[in-house]
Amino acid sequence: MSSGLDAIDVLVVDDDFMVARVHRTFVERIEPFRVVGVASTGEQAVAAVDELRPDLVLLDLYLPDVFGLDVIPRLRTAGHDCDVMVISAAREADTVRGAVRHGVVDYLLKPFEFEDLRSRLQRYAAQRGRLLTTVVHSQADVDRVLAGAGAVPAPAAGALPKGMSVETAELIERTLRGADGTLSATECATLTGISRVSARRYLEYFHGVGSAEVTLRYGVAGRPERRYSWRV
């Protein structure tokens, strides 16, 4: 495994080589992640983990030889403690519950956009960093680590990215919290009186820090519309 808080090594597992190539390209655009290998079957995945010792496995479930979740106990039996993030089109509740029982760190539905994977990998990296650096002196230390497992807390007001204001961030947050359902960037811009570009930037910021969720709405043609909701 990579040491300390340096590069996070990733194994991509997907039976479609074109999809695997896209996932690899996405991952390599996100610091500090690097792809160390690609596998297209469950057997290849187990062998690749043996050889490459990745920190994180991006695991498809519909593999040609085994169901993806069955790979995880084989890795554990072999003594590997790599984390696993499921990336799959499988939407069945039993499958999602099974993934949770197997201890996956996240579950991302296909199809997805780059921003969806980026926010999840950034959240994973932050949580991994906390787990590697936290010294436990009390129950409060344990609680702080576990509380971060689901989402990265939003930075303090002064830690907003350059060019973003606390007032506008609070306005977007109130609008999202008060929305009946989800909002697009255009709808959020109309409700708040700011430009669509600015609304999208703040919405993506909240998504990136884990405060907002994104769903994709598919229309008749063109790219899917990104819709945002405040994470409860």
Same domain, 51 and 107: yes
Q: Tens of pLDDT along 31-42? A: 999 999 999 999
**pLDDT value at position 155?**
43
pLDDT band at 222; cut points 50, 70, 90:
low
CB 127 within 8 A of CB 148: yes
CA 89 – CA 110 distance, rounded (Å):
5
CA 136 – CA 222 distance, rounded (Å):
50
pLDDT at 19 over 70: yes
- What's the number of domains the chain is made of? 2
Q: Which of 5-19, 84-98, 168-182, 211-225 has the lowest mean pLDDT?
A: 211-225
**pLDDT value at position 165?**
87
According to DSSP, the β-strands at 83-88 and 56-59 are parallel
pLDDT at 114 over 80: yes
Residue of 133 and 67 predicted with greater confidence: 67
Same domain, 80 and 16: yes
Same domain, 159 and 103: no
pLDDT at 16 over 90: yes
pLDDT band at 117; cut points 50, 70, 90:
very high
Does residue 124 belong to any structural domain of this protein? no
Local structure of residue 7 (DSSP, 8 states) = -
CA 211 – CA 215 distance, rounded (Å):
14
Does residue 30 belong to any structural domain of this protein? yes
Of 106, 85, 93, 92, whose CA–CA distance to 13 is shortest? Answer: 85
Q: Tens of pLDDT along 41-98? A: 999 999 999 999 999 999 999 999 999 999 999 999 999 999 999 999 888 888 989 9
Same domain, 92 and 33: yes
Q: Tens of pLDDT along 146-184? A: 665 544 344 444 467 778 888 899 999 999 999 989 999
Does residue 16 belong to any structural domain of this protein? yes
Q: Which of 21-30, 93-102, 148-157, 210-219 has the lowest mean pLDDT?
A: 148-157
CA-based angle 151:226:149, to the nearest 5?
10
Of 36, 110, 51, 104, whose CA–CA distance to 73 is shortest? Answer: 104
For residue 226, give the CATH number of its domain.
1.10.10.10
CA 51 – CA 119 distance, rounded (Å):
28
What mean pLDDT value characterizes the chain? 86
CA dihedral 147, 150, 156, 158 (to 10 degrees): 150
Cβ count within 10 A of residue 46: 19
**pLDDT value at position 231?**
84
Q: Which of 61, 87, 112 is the last residue of a domain?
A: 112
b/e string for 105-134 if b means 16 or more Cβ within 10 A?
A: bbbeeeebeeebbbbbbbbbbbbbebeeee
- Residue 17: give the domain boundaries: 8-112
For residue 37, give the CATH number of its domain.
3.40.50.2300
